[in-house]
Amino acid sequence: MKMKRRILPSILATLAILIGQIDLQAQQEQMYTQFMFNKLAINPAFAGNEKYLGLTGLYRDQWNGFPGAPQSQIFSVNLPKIGEKIGVGFNFKRQTIGIHTNINYSGIYSYKFPTQAGTFSMGIEFGGQNIRSDFSDPRLTAIEGIENDPSIPKINTNINALNVGYGVYFNSNSFYVGASIPKLIRTDLDFDNNNRISEQVRHLFVMGGVAFPVARDLSMSVQSLLKFAENSPFDTDLNVSLTVDEKYTGGINYRLGGANGDFGESIALLAAFQINEQMMIGLTQEFTLSKIRRFDNNSIELVLHYGIGKKKSKVVLINPRYF
């Protein structure tokens, strides 16, 4: 109990520092419904949280059928924990929306503090990004015609920038909590070096979850992801899932957001299947609740996780580890 009393204030203090970096006021980081299956993409402190090599790929098609709608791909590599305290990982992310393509790549290092209550981790992420905008795209239209608008360059432009992120994470057998800011530096994102109108804004992600047994071979988990961004409304995901025999997972996810009068941004059905000891596949079908639903065909998201060197424990645990 003494150790728990020491860990909790440390987590709360770190969360306060991270929140202090955010003005809590445009959303540039992509949202993922299946965040619980790839925490490394959001929080660098998760690196090395397992004793096996984890490879995770995620594909998201948001607002399917909507012209220029966002699409995202992520590939994460989470190396086995080195000793009991060091984690290393890598992230590659690609996002497209309209004529814009944003590519992010980063290396991650984390350090862990094992305790009787669980493991507290701190992680740092170093990376770069390339932002490209194709103003020659034939999908662009203008009232007077693209060729008559001098403000549109009609070329393919790109920007390269470096950044650094930070995160903290604590997990025990039955719950976890973490916070992260993927990009701490407000880098200039303008193609014109003489102006600074657009810049990288800071995003704060706070995640947490708890799991508990419901019956024999049946467990329930409740997980949430809170998102804060400068000059953007607060957003959150809430997920409730049931897992049978540690293989079959089904759940529902609700995302806050939308405009005034909307019941939220979306609601999603989630299904995941542990194919074997190494491979897991997850799929979500999201139904848009906001006014965009009149124009789109909803959203889908697919995640595939493969664990190299992952082995099933031969010991039946009375208190199994969920996180």
Question: Lowest-confidence range among 13-22, 24-33, 191-200, 251-260?
Answer: 13-22
Tell me what pLDDT residue 321 has: 58
Closest alpha carbon to 171 in 7, 31, 13:
7
If you average pLDDT over each of 17-21, 272-276, 293-297, which comes out highest?
A: 272-276
DSSP bridge partners of 203: 229
The model's confidence at residue 19, banded by pLDDT at 50, 70 and 90, is very low
SS3 8: helix
Average model confidence (pLDDT) across the chain = 83
Assess whether pLDDT exceeds 90 at residue 285: yes
DSSP bridge partners of 178: 169, 207
CB neighbour burial string for 175-207, b if at least 16 within 10 angstroms, e if fewer:
bbbbbbbbbbeebbbeeeeeeeebebbbbbbbb
Tell me what pLDDT residue 128 has: 93
Number of helices (H), then strands (E), in the chain: 1, 14
Assess whether pLDDT exceeds 90 at residue 243: yes
Per-residue pLDDT, averaged over 210-231, amounts to: 91
Per-residue pLDDT, averaged over 143-168, amounts to: 80
Tell me what pLDDT residue 119 has: 94
Structural Rg of the chain based on CA atoms: 21
Tell me what pLDDT residue 195 has: 58
Assess whether pLDDT exceeds 90 at residue 290: no
Listed by start position, the domains of the chain span 2-308
Closest alpha carbon to 99 in 58, 176, 157, 16:
157
Tell me what pLDDT residue 312 has: 63
pTM above 0.85, yes or no: no
Cβ(167)–Cβ(125) below 8 Å: yes
Assess whether pLDDT exceeds 70 at residue 262: yes
Assess whether pLDDT exceeds 50 at residue 218: yes
Supply the DSSP string of 149-176, one letter for each residue.
Answer: -TTS--SEEEEEEEEEEEEEEEE-SSEE
Question: Lowest-confidence range among 79-88, 185-194, 223-232?
Answer: 185-194
Assess whether pLDDT exceeds 70 at residue 294: yes
Q: Where are the alpha helices (DSSP H) in 21-118?
A: none
Closest alpha carbon to 286 in 273, 269, 302, 262:
269
Cα–Cα distance, 48 to 225 (Å, whole number): 21
Domain 2-308, CATH class in plain words: mainly beta
In the block, tokens 């009991």 appear at: 84
Per-residue pLDDT, averaged over 266-290, amounts to: 94
Assess whether pLDDT exceeds 90 at residue 261: no
Structure confidence by residue, pLDDT tens digits, 95-151:
998 888 999 999 999 999 999 889 999 999 999 999 888 877 777 776 666 676 666
In the chain, what percentage of residues exceed pLDDT 70? 80
User: E strands of 233-296, at which residues?
Assistant: 235-244, 248-255, 266-274, 279-288
Q: How far is CA 147 from CA 133, 141, 143, 150, 155, in A?
A: 17, 10, 11, 8, 12
Tell me what pLDDT residue 317 has: 44
Tell me what pLDDT residue 307 has: 93
Cβ(277)–Cβ(296) below 8 Å: no
Per-residue pLDDT, averaged over 276-282, amounts to: 94
